[in-house]
C-alpha cells in the first residue's frame, strides 16, 4: 500500500488571491493542491479549439452558457483555485459571482493542453482530482500532445477524482455524458496540433 505524504501549502489562499489579482495578463495563475501554478498565454490553435467547442455546446444546448477563464474554488479542503479553459453551466449561472466562484452548478469544465512543461502534472493529474473532489459532473481534457479527448465523469469525492474515464482519438465521435448529452465530431481537431 502506498502512502502519500500530505503536501505543505506554499501560501494561504488569501495570499494567492492577492498575487493572482496583480498578475500580468500574460499569465494565468492557479492554486491547486497547495501549489501555485503558472500557465502561459494560450496560442491561436488552443483558442480555436475552445471556440470550436463553445459553438458546438451552444448549438446543441442553447440553455447553457460557456464561460472562459471562470475562476472556480475547487478542492475545498485544500482551498484550491482553478481557471479552466471553459466552464459549461446553466444560462447566467455565474452572474454576480466574483472572480472565484463556487463550482456548484458547473456541469462541465474543459482543459486544452498547452505546450509547456507543467501540462502533464497539472491537466492530467491534479485537475481531474480537484474537479472530481469538487463534484463537477464532467471534466473534458482535449490533449494536443496525444491527439485525444478524455472524458472524466461520475465524480467521486471519496476517491478524489472520477470513477469513469474514457479516451478517444481526434477524428472519433465523442459523447459528453449527462448532464451534458452532446456528441462531438472531433475530426477538425487534427488541424490544431503541432
CATH number of 164's domain: 3.90.1570.10
Asked whether residue 184 is assigned to any structural domain, the reply reads yes
pLDDT band at 5 (very low <50, low <70, confident <90, very high): very low
Asked whether residue 6 is assigned to any structural domain, the reply reads no
Asked whether residue 37 is assigned to any structural domain, the reply reads no
Which structural domain range is residue 81 located in? 42-192
Asked whether residue 5 is assigned to any structural domain, the reply reads no
Asked whether residue 1 is assigned to any structural domain, the reply reads no
Residues 6+ apart with CB under 8 A from 43: 114, 115
Q: Are 148 and 169 in contact (CB under 8 A)?
A: yes
From residue 187, alpha-carbon distances to 2, 114, 149 in Å are: 40, 19, 11
- Report the mean per-residue pLDDT for the chain: 85
Asked whether residue 33 is assigned to any structural domain, the reply reads no
Point out which residues pair with 156 in neighbouring strands: 161
Asked whether residue 149 is assigned to any structural domain, the reply reads yes
Asked whether residue 135 is assigned to any structural domain, the reply reads yes
- Mean pLDDT to the nearest integer, 24-40: 63
| Between 55 and 158, the higher pLDDT residue | 55
Domain total of the chain: 1
Range scoring the smallest mean pLDDT among 2-16, 56-70, 99-113: 2-16
Amino acid at each position: 500500500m502506498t502512502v502519500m505524504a500530505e503536501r505543505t501549502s506554499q501560501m494561504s489562499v488569501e495570499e494567492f488571491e492577492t498575487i493572482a489579482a496583480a498578475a500580468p495578463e500574460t499569465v494565468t495563475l492557479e492554486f491547486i493542491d497547495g501549489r501555485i501554478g503558472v500557465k502561459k498565454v494560450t496560442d491561436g490553435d488552443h483558442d480555436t479549439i475552445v471556440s470550436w467547442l463553445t459553438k458546438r455546446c451552444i448549438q446543441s444546448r442553447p440553455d447553457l452558457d460557456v464561460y472562459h477563464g471562470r475562476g472556480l474554488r475547487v478542492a475545498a479542503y485544500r482551498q484550491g483555485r482553478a481557471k479552466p479553459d471553459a466552464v459549461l453551466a446553466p444560462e447566467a449561472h455565474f452572474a454576480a459571482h466574483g472572480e472565484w466562484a463556487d463550482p456548484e452548478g458547473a456541469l462541465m469544465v474543459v482543459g486544452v493542453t498547452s505546450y509547456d512543461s507543467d501540462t502533464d502534472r497539472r491537466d492530467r493529474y491534479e485537475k481531474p482530482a480537484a474537479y472530481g473532489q469538487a463534484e463537477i459532473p464532467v471534466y473534458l481534457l482535449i490533449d494536443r500532445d496525444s491527439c485525444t479527448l478524455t472524458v472524466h465523469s461520475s465524480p467521486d469525492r471519496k476517491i478524489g477524482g472520477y470513477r469513469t474515464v474514457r479516451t478517444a482519438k481526434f477524428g472519433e465521435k465523442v459523447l459528453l455524458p449527462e448532464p451534458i448529452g452532446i456528441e462531438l465530431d472531433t475530426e477538425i481537431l487534427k488541424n490544431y496540433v503541432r
